[in-house]
C-alpha cells in the first residue's frame, strides 16, 4: 500500500486535494528531494555488522521498520518527509503538497534570483529527476539491510505511525513540529516561512555549487562528506546547512564516524544490556534513571507528530522507543552522567536527523566534547558555563549586567521595598564599577537569570529557540565548537537588552545622569520588579525569535559587535578560570551539599570530566584536545591555573592588553560613546 | 492597592519530576491545561495579579522548577526572597510523596529564610482526578505529613480538572502576603536587622 500510494502521489495532485485552503501548506512539508535517503553514509553500517541480537532489539515492536531501517531511520527529517508520504494518509494530500511545493519553488526562485537561475534550473531538474530514483534508493537500502530484518518488510518505510489527517498536515512544519507554539501563531509561522523557505532554497543551491566545486556529490542521498574547513565553508554553515543534509553534516563536522568506528559494537552491546535489565524485577530500584527517563519520553516533543502517542493507533511511536533506547543506553554508558533532564531534548532532536546509533554517539559527543560536565550529577559544568556567560555579559553587555547584578545585591538583603538601596545602583556610566570591585561573587552564587540561561546550554536551545533557529545554531555548534553557544546566548541577551531598555530608556538615562541618587519614580521599578522583568524577557524573548536571520544576520554576522570576537580558545580559557574560581571558594559557597540522595563519585573539574569520558570519546574529539592544550600553553595569566594564587583577580578577556582593568574601563567608555552616537544616528 | 505599595509575592513550586508542577502553574495562572507540557529545565515563571480577601492586590510570581534532583544545585539563587514554597507530590506516586520532606529541607537550606519555623509551606497532592485504583498516597498520610511539617495547609488538587487549584493558590497567596509583610515590617522597623519578625498569624511557631 505504501509503495503504491507513494508513487501516485508523486505524479499526483494539486493542492486542490487538500482539505483546507492550501495557502501555506506547501511550505509545511519538505519537497520530495528532502526525503533523505541518506544511505550514502551507510548509517547503519555498524548496526548491520553487529549481532542479530541488536537487530532483533532494534527492529522489535509493532511497526517493524520505520525509524530504524537505514533509509527512514535516518531521518525523520526524512521521516517528516516520509510521513508526508502517502501511506500515512491514504495518499494524496501530502504528496500533492510536495509537488506543489516543487512548482512554486521553481518559479519563484527562478524569477527572484536571476544570478542563480542557471544553476537553479539544473538543480531543479535534478531534483525532480531525483524524486523517483529517490524512492528506489530507499528500496536498495532496505534491501541491503533486509538480510537482518524480516524480508517481508515493506520497502518504503511504513508510516501509519503518523496518523495526521490531511487537514492537520498544514499545522505542522517540515520536521513534524506543530507550527503554533506558545509564543508564535500559525499565521506568523506561515508568513515567515513563505519567505524563509526561499532563503533555504537559495542557500541550498549555493551549497550545491560549492560541493560540486570540490568534486563532492550533492544530491541529497549522497551528501556525506563536506569540503575542508575554511572561512567560506564556515560562512556557508552559518547561513544554514540544507535541512536534508543536516544529520550528515553534524555527524561529519563533529567527527562522529571516528568515534563510532572506535566503538563499533558498543551500542549494540548496550542494547543487549538494556534487554537484560528490562527483565529485572527490581530494575527501577537498581536503575533509578529508568523511571525518570520514562517520565520524560512523552514530555520531550509532545508537539511533534513523530513523538505523539495520539498519532499512533497501535502502541508507542517508534521515535519514543528510539528515544528510550538512546537515553537508557547512554545512562548505562556513562553512569557519571546517567540521565539528566534536557538530554531528552538533545537526543530527541538528534533522532529527527540521524539514525539511532548515530544519535547515541552524537549525544556522547555533545555531553563530553561540547558541553563537558554540564549534565553531570552536580551540574557543575552548567554552573561553570553560566559563570563564563556572566563574565561575558559583564564584559560585553554592561547595561544588561547592571540589571542582572544590581549593586544592592552585594550589599545585603534582596528583600522587598528596598527603595533606599536603589541609590547605589546604575552607576556604571562611570566605568566598570563591578569589575573594579575585583569581586567574583557572582561566579559562586550565580544570579537568578542563570537559571533560565542554564537551560539554553543544557538543551542546546532545543525548546528555547524556535526550531529553525535551533537548527542553525546546531549547524554552527558542530562546525565551530561550543563557544558558539555563548555567542548565541550573548546575541539573545543583547536583543533582550534592547527590549528591556526600550521602555526604560528615559528612566535609565536619569539614573545615569543623577548617578542614581534620585528615586522619585522608583516605585515602579523596584529591584524585584527589575529582576522579574529581566527574567521574563530573557525567558520569553528567544521563544519569539522566529526568524533565524534576526539573530544570525543582525547580530552574529556583525563584526562590529564585540562579542563576536569570542573564540573557542577564549571560552576554554574562561571556563578554566571560572572552574578555578569556583573551586577555590567551594567550601564556602556550598556548605550544605544536598542531603538527600546518592551520587557521590563526582568531580567538578571540567577538564577532568572530559577526561573521564575520554576512554570513549577523546580520540575523536581531537578538536577539543587541541583547545585544551592550547589553554594550558596559553598562559596569558598564569595565576589562573594556580588555585589560591590570587584573590579574585578579575578575568581578562584576550583583547585587553596589559592592564585588564584600565583597558576594560576604556573600552567601556568607548562603548558608551559609540552607543550614544548610535542613538543619535537613529 | 490600598496598602502602601504594590506587593510582589514570590512563590516557588517544588516537587519530584512529573508530579505536575508546570500544569498546576498554568492551570492557576492561565486556567489552562495541556497534555503537552515539556519537561521543565531550569525554571520558568509566570506572574498573576491576585486579589487577597478582596482587600489587597499583589503580583504573584510563580516559579516552576525542574524536578530532577540534580537541578536543585541550580536553584539556590532564586530560592532567596521566596514568600511561600509549594510542595507538590503526585497522589499516584509514592516516591514523590516520600521526597516531600527532603524538598522542604532543601528549600530551607538554600532559601536562607529568617525564621524557618514559620516560613509558609503549602502541600499539594496533585492528580486526584486519577483512578482510585492508581492512587497510592492516602489523604490521611498527607495530612499527617502536613502536621509533622508544622501544620502546613494541605490541598488535594487536579491541574487537569482544576479541582482545588484556585482554592490552594488563594491560600498560597494569603500566606505569601503574610510572610512578605512580616519581612517588610521587620525591614522597616529595623533597616539592618531582619530578626525582629512580628508574628501575628496562624502558623504559630514551632513544628511539633
Report the pLDDT averaged over residues B18-47: 93
Q: What share of chain B is helix, strand, coil (3-state, %, to 5)?
A: 35, 25, 40
Domain boundary among A190, A211, A232: A211
Q: What is the pLDDT of residue B91?
A: 98
Nearest to A379 among B40, B59, B73 (CB): B73
Whether B139 maps to a domain, the answer reads yes
Whether A291 maps to a domain, the answer reads no
Q: What is the CA radius of gyration of chain B?
A: 16
Please name the residue that has the C-alpha cell 532545543: A462
Q: What is the pLDDT of residue A448?
A: 87
Confidence of residue B182 (pLDDT cuts 50, 70, 90): confident
Q: What is the CATH number of the domain that holds B179?
A: 3.40.50.300
B180 touches chain A (CB under 8 A): yes
Residue B54 has pLDDT above 50, yes or no: yes
What does the alpha-carbon distance between residue B178 and residue B61 come to, in Å, rounded to a whole number?
15
Terminus-to-terminus CA distance in chain A, angstroms? 61
Lowest average pLDDT, out of A277-281, A345-349, B133-137, B194-198, goes to B194-198
Whether B205 maps to a domain, the answer reads no
Top-ranked range on mean pLDDT: pick from A155-164, A450-459, A576-585, B103-112: A450-459
Q: Which residue has the higher pLDDT, B58 or A48?
A: B58
Query: Tell me: the pLDDT tens digits for A579-590?
Result: 999 988 765 444
The average confidence (pLDDT) of chain A is: 68
Residue A43 has pLDDT above 60, yes or no: no
Residue A354 has pLDDT above 80, yes or no: yes
What does the alpha-carbon distance between residue A195 and residue A191 come to, in Å, rounded to a whole number?
7
Give the max Cα distance, chain B: 55
Give the domain extent around B36: 7-189
> How far, rounded to the nearest angstrom, does the alpha carbon of residue A292 sit from its chain's CA centroid?
22
What does the alpha-carbon distance between residue A273 and residue A286 come to, in Å, rounded to a whole number?
13
Q: What is the pLDDT of residue A666?
A: 67
Confidence of residue A225 (pLDDT cuts 50, 70, 90): very high
Specify the DSSP element, H or E, that contains B10. strand B7-15
A521 touches chain B (CB under 8 A): no
Give the domain extent around A147: 2-211
Assess contact for A390 and A383: CB atoms under 8 A: no
Residues in chain B with CB shorter than 8 Å from the CB of A382 are: 74
Report the pLDDT averaged over residues A170-187: 94
Assess contact for A385 and A453: CB atoms under 8 A: no
Q: What is the CA radius of gyration of chain A?
A: 26
Confidence of residue A92 (pLDDT cuts 50, 70, 90): very low
Q: Could you count the other beta carbons within 10 Å of the beta carbon of residue A213? A: 11
Lowest average pLDDT, out of A45-59, B15-29, B94-108, goes to A45-59
Whether A50 maps to a domain, the answer reads yes
Residue A464 has pLDDT above 70, yes or no: yes
Lowest average pLDDT, out of A58-67, B57-66, B73-82, goes to A58-67
Whether B88 maps to a domain, the answer reads yes
B178 touches chain A (CB under 8 A): no
Q: Which residue has the higher pLDDT, A371 or A136?
A: A371
Residue among A328, A338, A446, A428 nearest A390 (CA)? A446
CA dihedral A431, A447, A558, A206 (to 10 degrees): 170
Which residues are registered as beta bridge partners of B61? Answer: B10, B47
Count Cβ–Cβ pairs < 8 Å, chain A vs chain B.
136
Confidence of residue A312 (pLDDT cuts 50, 70, 90): low
Residue B19 has pLDDT above 80, yes or no: yes
pTM: 0.72
Q: What is the pLDDT of residue A601?
A: 38
Assess contact for B28 and B165: CB atoms under 8 A: yes
Assess contact for B69 and A339: CB atoms under 8 A: no
Q: Are the beta carbons of A447 and B61 separated by less than 8 Å?
A: no
Backbone angles phi, psi at B62, to 5 degrees: -100, 120
State percent of chain A over pLDDT 90.
43
Selected residue of A415, A444, A598 to mutate for chain B interface (largest B Cβ count, 10 A): A415
Nearest to A529 among B8, B43, B69 (CB): B8
Give the max Cα distance, chain A: 80
Please name the residue that has the C-alpha cell 565553508: A233
Report the pLDDT averaged over residues A521-541: 76
What does the alpha-carbon distance between residue A413 and residue A463 come to, in Å, rounded to a whole number?
34
Query: Tell me: the pLDDT tens digits for A626-638?
Result: 333 333 333 333 3
Whether B207 maps to a domain, the answer reads no
Nearest to B36 among A302, A420, A452 (CB): A302
Whether B200 maps to a domain, the answer reads no
3-class state of residue B155 by DSSP: strand
- Residues 595-634 of chain A whose Cβ lies under 8 A from any Cβ of chain B: 595-597, 599
Residue among A145, A122, A125, A139 nearest A35 (CA)? A139
Lowest average pLDDT, out of A390-399, A510-519, B78-87, goes to A510-519
Whether A681 maps to a domain, the answer reads no
Confidence of residue A501 (pLDDT cuts 50, 70, 90): confident
Whether A521 maps to a domain, the answer reads yes
Residue among A235, A343, A238 nearest A289 (CA)? A343
Q: What is the pLDDT of residue A52?
A: 33
3-class state of residue A150 by DSSP: coil
Whether B208 maps to a domain, the answer reads no
What does the alpha-carbon distance between residue A452 and residue A534 come to, in Å, rounded to a whole number?
11
C-alpha cell of residue A122: 539544473
Report the pLDDT averaged over residues B64-73: 89
Whether A599 maps to a domain, the answer reads yes
3-class state of residue A356 by DSSP: helix
Pairing type for strands B56-65 and B43-52 reads antiparallel
Residue A438 has pLDDT above 80, yes or no: no
Residue A84's Cβ-count burial label (10 Å; 0-12, 13-18, 19+) is: buried
Q: Are the beta carbons of A383 and B73 separated by less than 8 Å?
A: yes
B101 touches chain A (CB under 8 A): no
Residue A482 has pLDDT above 50, yes or no: yes
Q: What is the pLDDT of residue A90?
A: 33
Whether A70 maps to a domain, the answer reads yes
* Dihedral sign of CA atoms A585, A590, A593, A594 in order: negative
Q: What is the pLDDT of residue A301?
A: 95
Lowest average pLDDT, out of A169-178, B117-126, B189-198, goes to B189-198
Whether A548 maps to a domain, the answer reads yes
- Residues 444-503 of chain A whose Cβ lies under 8 A from any Cβ of chain B: 445-448, 450-455, 458-459, 463
Whether A346 maps to a domain, the answer reads no
What does the alpha-carbon distance between residue B53 and residue B73 come to, in Å, rounded to a whole number?
36
What value of ipTM does the predicted structure carry? 0.87
Residue A10's Cβ-count burial label (10 Å; 0-12, 13-18, 19+) is: buried
Top-ranked range on mean pLDDT: pick from A310-319, A399-408, A409-418, A520-529: A399-408
Specify the DSSP element, H or E, that contains A353. helix A343-353
Q: What is the pLDDT of residue A665?
A: 62
Report the pLDDT averaged over residues A427-432: 35
Residue A290 has pLDDT above 60, yes or no: yes
C-alpha cell of residue A425: 545602583
Nearest to A596 among B45, B102, B191 (CB): B102
Q: From the CA of A596, how many Å to the nearest CA of chain B?
A: 6
Q: Which residue has the higher pLDDT, A565 or A440?
A: A565
How many structural domains comprise chain B?
A: 1
Assess contact for A457 and A485: CB atoms under 8 A: yes
How many structural domains comprise chain A?
A: 2
Q: What is the pLDDT of residue B202?
A: 44
What does the alpha-carbon distance between residue A562 and residue A147 come to, in Å, rounded to a whole number?
56
Residue A511 has pLDDT above 60, yes or no: no
Domain boundary among A158, A191, A211: A211
Residue A477 has pLDDT above 50, yes or no: yes
Confidence of residue A648 (pLDDT cuts 50, 70, 90): low
A300 touches chain B (CB under 8 A): yes
What does the alpha-carbon distance between residue A633 and residue A637 come to, in Å, rounded to a whole number?
10
Residues in chain A with CB shorter than 8 Å from the CB of B180 are: 416
What does the alpha-carbon distance between residue A522 and residue B91 come to, in Å, rounded to a whole number?
45
Whether B204 maps to a domain, the answer reads no
Confidence of residue A650 (pLDDT cuts 50, 70, 90): confident
Residue A623 has pLDDT above 80, yes or no: no
What is the spatial order of strands in the sheet that B43-52 belongs to? B43-52, B56-65, B7-15, B84-90, B121-126, B154-156
Q: From the CA of B105, how many Å to the nearest CA of chain A?
A: 8
Residue A620 has pLDDT above 60, yes or no: no
What does the alpha-carbon distance between residue A368 and residue A499 come to, in Å, rounded to a whole number?
35
Q: What is the pLDDT of residue A82?
A: 36
Q: Are the beta carbons of A303 and B187 separated by less than 8 Å?
A: no
Q: Are the beta carbons of A595 and B106 separated by less than 8 Å?
A: yes
Q: What is the pLDDT of residue A233?
A: 97
Amino acid at each position: 500500500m505504501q509503495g503504491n500510494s507513494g508513487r501516485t502521489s508523486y505524479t499526483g495532485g494539486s493542492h486542490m486535494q487538500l482539505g483546507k485552503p492550501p495557502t501555506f501548506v506547501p511550505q509545511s512539508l519538505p519537497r520530495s528531494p528532502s526525503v533523505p535517503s541518506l544511505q550514502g553514509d551507510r548509517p547503519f553500517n555498524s548496526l548491520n555488522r553487529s549481532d542479530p541480537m541488536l537487530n532483533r532489539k532494534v527492529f522489535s515492536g509493532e511497526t517493524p521498520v520505520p525509524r530504524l531501517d537505514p533509509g527512514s531511520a535516518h531521518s525523520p527529517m526524512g521521516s517528516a518527509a516520509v510521513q508526508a508520504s502517502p501511506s500515512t494518509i491514504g495518499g494524496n494530500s501530502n504528496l500533492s503538497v510536495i509537488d506543489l511545493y516543487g512548482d512554486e519553488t521553481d518559479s519563484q526562485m527562478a524569477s527572484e534570483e536571476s544570478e542563480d537561475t542557471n544553476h537553479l534550473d539544473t538543480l531543479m531538474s535534478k531534483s525532480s529527476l531525483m524524486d523517483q530514483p529517490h524512492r528506489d534508493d530507499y528500496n536498495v537500502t532496505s534491501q541491503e539491510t533486509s538480510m537482518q530484518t524480516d524480508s517481508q518488510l515493506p520497502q518504503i518505510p511504513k508510516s501509519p505511525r503518523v496518523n495526521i489527517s490531511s487537514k492537520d498536515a498544514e499545522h505542522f512544519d517540515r520536521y513534524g513540529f506543530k507550527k503554533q507554539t506558545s509564543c508564535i501563531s500559525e499565521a506568523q509561522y506561515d508568513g515567515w516561512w513563505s519567505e524563509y523557505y526561499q532563503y533555504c532554497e537559495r542557500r541550498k543551491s549555493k551549497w550545491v555549487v560549492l560541493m560540486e566545486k570540490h568534486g563532492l556529490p550533492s544530491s541529497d542521498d549522497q551528501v556525506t562528506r563536506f569540503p575542508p574547513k575554511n572561512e567560506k565553508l564556515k560562512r556557508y554553515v552559518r547561513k544554514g546547512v540544507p535541512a536534508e543534509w543536516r544529520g550528515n553534516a553534524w555527524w561529519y563536522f563533529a567527527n562522529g564516524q571516528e568515534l563510532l568506528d572506535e566503538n563499533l559494537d558498543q551500542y549494540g552491546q548496550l542494547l543487549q544490556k538494556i534487554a537484560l535489565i528490562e527483565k529485572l524485577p527490581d530494575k527501577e530500584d537498581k536503575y533509578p534513571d529508568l523511571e525518570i527517563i520514562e517520565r520524560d519520553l512523552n514530555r520531550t516533543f509532545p508537539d511533534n507528530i513523530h513523538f505523539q502517542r495520539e498519532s499512533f493507533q497501535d502502541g508507542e511511536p517508534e521515535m519514543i522507543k528510539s528515544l528510550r533506547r538512546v537515553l537508557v543506553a547512554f545512562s548505562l554508558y556513562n553512569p557519571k552522567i546517567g540521565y539528566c533532564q534536557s538530554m531528552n531534548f538533545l537526543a530527541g532532536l538528534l533522532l529527527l536527523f540521524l539514525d539511532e546509533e548515530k544519535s547515541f554517539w552524537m549525544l556522547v559527543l555533545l555531553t563530553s566534547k561540547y558541553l563537558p560536565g554540564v549534565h553531570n550529577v552536580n551540574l557543575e559544568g552548567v554552573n561553570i558555563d553560566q559563570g563564563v556567560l556572566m563574565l561575558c555579559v559583564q564584559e560585553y553587555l554592561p547595561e544588561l549586567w547592571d540589571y542582572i547584578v544590581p549593586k544592592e545585591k552585594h550589599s545585603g538583603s534582596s528583600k522587598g521595598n528596598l527603595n533606599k538601596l536603589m541609590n547605589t545602583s546604575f552607576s556604571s556610566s562611570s566605568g566598570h564599577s563591578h569589575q573594579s570591585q575585583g569581586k567574583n561573587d557572582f561566579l559562586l552564587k550565580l544570579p537568578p537569570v542563570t537559571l533560565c540561561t542554564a537551560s539554553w546550554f543544557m538543551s542546546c536551545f532545543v525548546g528555547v529557540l524556535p526550531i529553525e533557529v535551533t537548527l542553525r545554531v546546531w549547524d554552527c555548534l558542530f562546525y565551530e565548537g561550543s563557544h558558539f553557544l555563548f555567542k548565541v546566548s550573548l546575541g539573545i541577551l543583547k536583543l533582550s537588552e534592547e527590549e528591556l531598555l526600550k521602555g526604560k530608556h528615559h528612566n535609565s538615562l536619569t539614573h545615569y545622569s543623577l548617578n542614581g541618587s534620585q528615586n522619585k519614580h522608583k516605585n515602579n521599578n523596584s529591584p524585584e520588579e527589575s529582576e522579574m522583568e529581566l527574567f521574563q524577557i530573557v525567558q520569553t524573548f528567544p521563544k519569539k525569535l522566529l526568524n533565524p536571520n534576526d539573530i544570525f544576520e543582525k547580530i552574529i554576522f556583525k563584526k562590529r559587535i564585540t562579542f563576536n570576537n569570542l573564540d573557542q580558545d577564549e571560552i576554554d580559557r574562561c571556563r578554566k578560570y571560572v572552574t578555578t574560581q569556583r573551586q577555590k571558594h567551594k567550601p564556602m559557597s556550598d556548605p550544605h551539599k544536598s542531603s538527600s540522595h546518592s551520587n557521590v563519585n563526582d568531580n567538578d573539574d571540567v577538564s577532568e570530566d572530559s577526561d573521564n569520558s575520554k576512554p570513549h570519546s577523546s580520540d575523536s574529539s581531537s578538536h577539543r584536545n587541541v583547545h585544551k592544550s592550547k589553554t594550558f600553553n596559553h598562559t596569558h595569566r598564569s595565576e589562573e591555573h594556580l588555585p589560591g594564587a590570587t584573590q579574585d583577580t578579575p578575568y581578562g578577556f584576550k583583547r585587553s592588553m596589559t592592564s585588564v582593568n584600565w583597558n576594560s574601563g576604556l573600552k567601556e567608555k568607548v562603548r558608551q560613546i559609540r552607543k550614544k552616537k548610535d542613538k543619535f544616528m537613529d | 492597592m490600598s496598602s502602601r505599595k504594590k506587593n510582589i509575592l514570590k512563590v516557588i513550586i517544588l516537587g519530584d519530576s512529573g508530579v505536575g508542577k508546570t500544569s498546576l502553574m498554568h492551570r492557576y495562572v492561565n486556567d489552562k491545561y495541556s497534555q503537552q507540557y515539556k519537561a521543565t529545565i531550569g525554571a520558568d515563571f509566570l506572574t498573576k495579579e491576585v486579589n487577597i480577601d478582596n482587600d489587597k492586590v499583589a503580583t504573584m510570581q510563580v516559579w516552576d522548577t525542574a524536578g530532577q534532583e540534580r537541578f536543585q544545585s541550580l536553584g539556590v539563587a532564586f530560592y532567596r526572597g521566596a514568600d511561600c514554597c509549594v510542595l507538590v507530590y503526585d497522589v499516584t506516586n509514592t516516591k514523590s510523596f516520600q521526597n516531600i520532606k527532603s524538598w522542604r529541607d532543601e528549600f530551607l537550606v538554600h532559601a536562607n529564610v529568617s525564621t524557618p519555623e514559620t516560613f509558609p509551606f503549602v502541600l499539594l497532592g496533585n492528580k486526584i482526578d486519577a483512578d482510585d485504583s492508581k492512587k497510592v498516597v492516602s489523604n490521611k498520610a498527607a495530612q499527617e505529613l502536613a502536621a509533622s511539617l508544622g501544620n502546613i495547609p494541605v490541598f488535594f488538587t487536579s491541574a487537569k480538572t482544576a479541582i482545588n487549584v484556585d482554592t490552594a493558590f488563594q491560600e498560597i497567596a494569603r500566606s505569601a502576603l503574610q510572610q512578605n509583610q512580616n519581612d517588610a515590617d521587620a525591614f522597616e522597623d529595623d533597616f539592618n536587622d531582619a530578626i525582629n519578625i512580628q508574628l501575628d498569624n496562624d502558623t504559630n511557631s514551632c513544628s511539633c
